[in-house]
Amino acid sequence: MAVDTLVEVETPEGIGLQLRAAGPVARAYAWVIDFAIRLVVMFLVLIPIGWLGELGVGIVLLVYFGLEWLYPLLFEALRGATPGKRALGLAVVHENGTPVGWTAATVRNLLRAADFFPVGYGVGLLWCLFHPRHQRLGDLAAGTLVVYREPASERVAMPRRAPRPLPVPLGDAEQQALLGFAERSQALAPERARELAELLRPLHHAEGDAAVEALLGYANQVAGR
């Protein structure tokens, strides 16, 4: 049974793109932030309204309508995420991984009225919680997903060492584990690196830093340097 939230999308080139769906908690936090922003805007609009009398009432109602229905739609269609979602690193995409368009953004935001049942987004939160890809009713009808943006990360190069031949032939997964250790060794605390390296004592028969060096040598051998 798969318990992670990875959604694999097959592209026309046959590649499996991996998107990480966002759960109801993150989305609820994003909604709270958006709500706070809207509250602040409403408050700022209300302050000068006293001077405008009836005209002000009309403006307030229009602003309230816009904040309730148009604010999420415009942000999602134009920039992919409302400020609240952006603050949590979320983005709205189509089910094929492309950024959300106007039709889908309209549908998913108008269906908030349905997700809101019976009170406080009850239906939406529950559906999002139990759905394998964390879609609420609006997402289902619009064919969208709320995913975590992948942060652009710099590649950390493997530290170079003299290649050391492997004492025994290792399978693909094991070789990959060695490469993974080498790439992450600089980010690990030295004690942790030593601890991990000593787990493979039957392989290299060394201790402490010598064990780490041994594994780095093996990794460079696997990489073919």
Partner 1 sequence: MRQARFELQHGATWEALRGLLERLERGVGDGPVEAAELPGLYRAVCGHYSLALERHYSRGLTEQLHQLVQRGHRLLYARRSGGLRRLADVLVRGFPVTLRRHARWFWLATALFYLPALAAGVWTYHSPDAVYSLLDPASVAELEQAYDPANRVAGRPPGRDAATDFSMFGFYIWNNVAIDFRTFATGIFFGIGTVVILLYNGVVIGGVAGHITAIGHVETFWPFVSGHAPFELTAVAVSGTAGLLLGLALLAPGNLPRRQALVAAAREAAVLIGGAVVLSIGAALIEAFWSSSAAPATVKYAVSAALWVLLALYLVGSGRGRRASR
Binding residues for partner 1, rule: CB under 8 A, are: 11-15, 17-18, 53-62, 64-65, 68-69, 77, 96-99, 101-103, 106-107, 110-114, 117, 137, 140-143, 150, 152-153, 155-156, 158, 172-173, 175-176, 179-180, 182-183, 222-225
Choice between 66 and 208, CB closer to partner 1: 66
Q: Are 135 and 165 in contact (CB under 8 A)?
A: no
Burial of 212 (0-12, 13-18, 19+ CB in 10 A): buried
Choice between 80 and 208, CB closer to partner 1: 80
| Shortest spacing between CB 207 and partner 1, in angstroms | 26
DSSP type of residue 16: E
Q: What is the CA radius of gyration of the chain?
A: 26
| Shortest spacing between CB 133 and partner 1, in angstroms | 11
| Shortest spacing between CB 192 and partner 1, in angstroms | 18
- What angle separates helix 53-65 from helix 24-46, to the nearest 10 degrees? 170
In sequence order, the 6+-apart residues with CB closer than 8 A to the CB of 105 are 72, 73, 76, 77, 92, 142, 144
Q: Are 8 and 18 in contact (CB under 8 A)?
A: yes
Choice between 151 and 202, CB closer to partner 1: 151
| Shortest spacing between CB 164 and partner 1, in angstroms | 15
Choice between 89 and 208, CB closer to partner 1: 89
Residues 36 and 39: their CA atoms lie apart, in Å, by 5
Q: What is the largest CA-CA distance in the chain?
A: 86
| Shortest spacing between CB 33 and partner 1, in angstroms | 23
| Shortest spacing between CB 60 and partner 1, in angstroms | 7
Residues 136 and 127: their CA atoms lie apart, in Å, by 5
Residues 93 and 85: their CA atoms lie apart, in Å, by 12
